[in-house]
Structure 1
Amino acid sequence: MQWLYLAIAVVFEIAVAIAAGKAEGFKNRKWTIVTLVSGAIGTYFLSKALLTFDVGVGYAIWTSISGIGITLLGALFFGQRLNWRKAIGIAAIIIGVVGLQLSGAA
């Protein structure tokens, strides 16, 4: 169940990043509300996941997978560039997350 909680937290963290970009420094009320609500929901599910995960490991997995998701969505839908250096960084993050999992993180 902790993996489901972590996955939900990742989805909402990605939503926070996208909404915060559209909130225009919290001038756009609609996107500001989406940012804050998404952040609250994501934090709730992260806290549920951290009941089982070691805090450092759970947080590292959460931020890493969220960062990858944000980077890929930025490239796919928002015209942001994804070059070979970013691809190597993403691969390194994936290797790190797999390493954390293999270490018996949960």
Structure 2
Amino acid sequence: MAWLWLIAGGLFEVGFTTCLRNVEGFRHLGWTLGFLASVSLSMLLLEHAARSIPMGTAYAVWTGIGALGTVLIGIVWYGEPATPVRLLLILGAVACIAGLKLLGSGA
């Protein structure tokens, strides 16, 4: 169950980075509230997951999910470049996250 909390926390990290891009100096109330809710939930879920998953692993996976999701949001919604090298590096990060999951706490 801890891995589900961790994945959800990583997805909320994508939410807060996406909101952060749109808060306009925290003047846009809707995006600001979305940011505050997402960052709070993300941190709460990370803390909850880290009770069962080693903190280093939990943090690496959490930030990896957030970084990958944020890159994909940037490509899909904001027209950021999707060059072959960039996509290859994203796949490498996904492989690292999957490796941490497969190793679990026995590593």
Q: Is TM more than 0.5 here?
A: yes
TM-score normalised to the size of structure 1? 0.90
Q: Which amino acid aligns with 1:46?
A: L
Corresponding residue number in structure 2 for 1:88: 88
The sequence identity of aligned pairs, in percent, is 28
Most deviating of 73-82 and 42-51: 73-82
Moved over 2 A (4+): 101-106
Distance in 2 separating the partners of 1:11 and 1:96: 17
Q: Which amino acid aligns with 1:61?
A: V
Q: Deviations over 1:36-87 (max 9, x none)?
A: 1110011111111111110011100011111111111221122121111211
TM-score normalised to the size of structure 2? 0.89
Distance in 2 separating the partners of 1:89 and 1:26: 32
Say whether residues 1:62 and 2:62 are aligned partners.
Answer: yes
Corresponding residue number in structure 1 for 2:26: 26
Distance 1:18 1:46, change over 3 A: same
Q: Give the unaligned 5+ runs of structure 2.
A: none
Query: Counterparts in 2 of 1:1-106, with a 5 A limit?
Result: 1-105=1-105
